[in-house]
């Protein structure tokens, strides 16, 4: 159980400008904001634009517009698209990610290996695309080979234990979930899991709020933190994995329903109240708690007076 007052809470909103933000994103941001503000913590806006192929300026603008629409403020981060591009883009930190990967390769030569598998090759071998069976590891290709991705070798039976604020003790079989996952893509750019760990450590993040669907990612990042020099601090991060939001009738919205949000929640909803209602529902609060963000915050404070978030869900 996590007492809100026991550690300084530093958290972040981490949207990706690769699509318009949907209800699920808005629910996650609102939950993160409520938890951080209730704890008197510090909130960063940390935009993940590692994947520039799917980046569009309209998506970047939509992030700022959605936060304003939701009424969510933050303490550190870009003030707008131009400030983001100039001072906060992950593209500025590619050399830092690369230096850490090179140091990791030297520190753990048996963990990282070059993988030359193509999608077609993996399909031919009858394994899931994205997972290398380890044959490349035995082939011992050089890591400086062009067009080779780097993978981390996850030994069989690697179980990662997560003490989650919402879910309690969770055990993830990393070998089965992600296998030998990619840490550096074929184009030489660090993979999401690496950049995410480095950014969280750099910002001093102590608390991460994310959906249950990201549990395997959390496991991969916790495991990776021990393999990446200087990133051990990530293992102290506390996690709050929330259920994927449900409709008022308790019905789970499918991935396709969420993904159908072509124009984004700001364009599709009449008001942010639909988001506050979804948050209240997730936290088991009555609908009257969701008339506005301030009412929601107040109801949570009343309920959690001296209590923990963990006991509410
Ligand atoms: Zn391979």
- Eight-state DSSP code of residue 3: B
CA of 220 to the centre of ligand 1 (A): 18
Q: How confident is the model at residue 168, as a pLDDT?
A: 94
Q: How confident is the model at residue 2, as a pLDDT?
A: 39
CA of 230 to the centre of ligand 1 (A): 27
Of all residues in the chain, what percent carry a pLDDT higher than 90? 71
In a domain, 168, yes or no: yes
In a domain, 200, yes or no: no
Last residue of a domain, one of 156, 184, 212: 184
201-214 average pLDDT score: 96
Residues 109 and 73 in one domain: no
CA of 114 to the centre of ligand 1 (A): 7
DSSP line for 48-110? ----TTS--HHHHHHHHHHHHHHT---SBS-SSHHHIIIII-GGGGHHHHHHHHHHHHHH-TT
CA of 224 to the centre of ligand 1 (A): 19
CA of 191 to the centre of ligand 1 (A): 16
**Which CATH number does the domain housing residue 300 bear?**
3.40.50.620
Residues 49 and 82 in one domain: yes
276-305 average pLDDT score: 88
Say yes or no to pLDDT of 68 above 90: yes
CA of 135 to the centre of ligand 1 (A): 6
Residues 132 and 171 in one domain: yes
Please enumerate in sequence order all residues whose Cβ is within 8 A of that of 284, keeping only pairs 6 or more positions apart, or say none. Answer: 312, 313
Grouping H, G, I as helix, E, B as strand and the rest as coil, residue 313 is coil
CA of 117 to the centre of ligand 1 (A): 4
**Which CATH number does the domain housing residue 127 bear?**
3.90.800.10
Q: How confident is the model at residue 225, as a pLDDT?
A: 97
Residues 35 and 71 in one domain: yes
Residues 72 and 108 in one domain: no
Q: For the segment 165-177, what is each residue's pLDDT rounded down to a tens digit?
A: 999 999 999 999 9
Residues 37 and 114 in one domain: no
In a domain, 207, yes or no: no
In a domain, 35, yes or no: yes
Range of the structural domain that residue 134 is part of: 94-184
Residues 71 and 110 in one domain: no
Residues 150 and 82 in one domain: no
Q: How confident is the model at residue 257, as a pLDDT?
A: 47
Say yes or no to pLDDT of 254 above 50: no
Q: How confident is the model at residue 118, as a pLDDT?
A: 77
In a domain, 64, yes or no: yes
Query: Which of 123-132, 136-145, 301-310 is most confident?
Result: 136-145
CB atoms within 10 A of CB 238: 17
Residues 83 and 128 in one domain: no
Last residue of a domain, one of 162, 184, 206: 184
Q: How confident is the model at residue 252, as a pLDDT?
A: 54
When comparing pLDDT for 144 and 123, which is higher?
Answer: 144
Q: How confident is the model at residue 232, as a pLDDT?
A: 93
In a domain, 123, yes or no: yes
Of all residues in the chain, what percent carry a pLDDT higher than 70? 85
Say yes or no to pLDDT of 140 above 80: no
In a domain, 226, yes or no: no
Task: Using pLDDT thresholds of 50, 70 and 90, give the confidence band for residue 259.
Answer: very low
CB atoms within 10 A of CB 3: 12
Q: For the segment 120-135, what is each residue's pLDDT rounded down to a tens digit?
A: 666 666 555 456 776 7
CA of 218 to the centre of ligand 1 (A): 23
CA of 180 to the centre of ligand 1 (A): 9
Residues 15 and 70 in one domain: yes
- CB-based contact 312:167 (threshold 8 Å): no
CA of 149 to the centre of ligand 1 (A): 8
Last residue of a domain, one of 184, 212, 230: 184
Mean pLDDT of the chain: 88
Task: Using pLDDT thresholds of 50, 70 and 90, give the confidence band for residue 313.
Answer: very low
Task: Using pLDDT thresholds of 50, 70 and 90, give the confidence band for residue 261.
Answer: low
Helices and strands per DSSP (H, E), number in the chain: 13, 9
Say yes or no to pLDDT of 7 above 80: no
DSSP line for 224-289? HHTTSTT-GGGGG-EEEEEPPPB-TTSPBPPHHHHHT-SS-HHHH-SSTHHHHHHHHHHTT--GGG
Residues 18 and 45 in one domain: yes
CA of 133 to the centre of ligand 1 (A): 6
Q: How confident is the model at residue 175, as a pLDDT?
A: 92
Q: Which of 225, 223, 235, 245 is nearest to 163 (CA)?
A: 235
CA of 188 to the centre of ligand 1 (A): 16
Residues 84 and 112 in one domain: no
CA of 251 to the centre of ligand 1 (A): 40
Task: Using pLDDT thresholds of 50, 70 and 90, give the confidence band for residue 1.
Answer: very low
In a domain, 50, yes or no: yes
14-41 average pLDDT score: 95
Domain count, the chain: 2
């Amino acid at each position: 159980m996590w007492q809100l007052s026991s550690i300084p809470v530093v958290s972040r909103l981490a949207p990706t400008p690769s699509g318009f933000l949907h209800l699920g994103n808005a629910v996650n941001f609102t939950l993160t904001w409520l938890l951080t503000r209730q704890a008197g913590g510090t909130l960063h806006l940390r935009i993940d634009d590692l994947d520039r192929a799917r980046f569009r300026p309209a998506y970047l603008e939509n992030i700022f517009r959605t936060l304003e629409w939701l009424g969510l403020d933050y303490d550190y981060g870009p003030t707008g698209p131009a400030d983001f591009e100039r001072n906060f883009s992950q593209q500025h930190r590619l050399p830092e990610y690369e230096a850490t990967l090179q140091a990791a390769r030297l520190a753990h030569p048996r963990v990282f290996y070059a993988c030359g598998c193509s999608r077609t090759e993996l399909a031919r071998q009858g394994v899931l695309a994205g997972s290398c069976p380890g044959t490349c590891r035995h082939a011992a290709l050089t890591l400086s080979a062009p067009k080779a991705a780097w993978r981390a070798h996850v030994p069989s039976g690697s179980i990662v234990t997560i003490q989650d604020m919402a879910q309690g003790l969770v055990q993830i079989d990393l070998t089965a979930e992600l296998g030998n996952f990619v840490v550096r893509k074929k184009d030489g750019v660090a993979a999401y899991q690496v950049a995410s760990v480095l950014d969280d450590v750099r910002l001093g993040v102590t608390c991460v709020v994310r959906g249950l669907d990201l549990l395997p990612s959390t496991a991969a990042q916790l495991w990776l933190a021990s393999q990446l020099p200087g990133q051990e601090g990530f293992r102290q991060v506390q996690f709050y994995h929330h259920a994927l939001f449900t409709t008022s009738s308790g019905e789970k919205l499918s991935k396709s329903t969420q993904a159908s949000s072509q124009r984004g929640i700001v364009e599709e909803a009449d008001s942010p109240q639909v988001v506050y209602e979804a948050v209240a529902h997730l936290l088991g609060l009555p609908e009257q708690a969701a008339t506005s963000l301030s009412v929601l915050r107040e109801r949570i404070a009343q309920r959690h007076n001296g209590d923990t978030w963990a006991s509410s869900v």
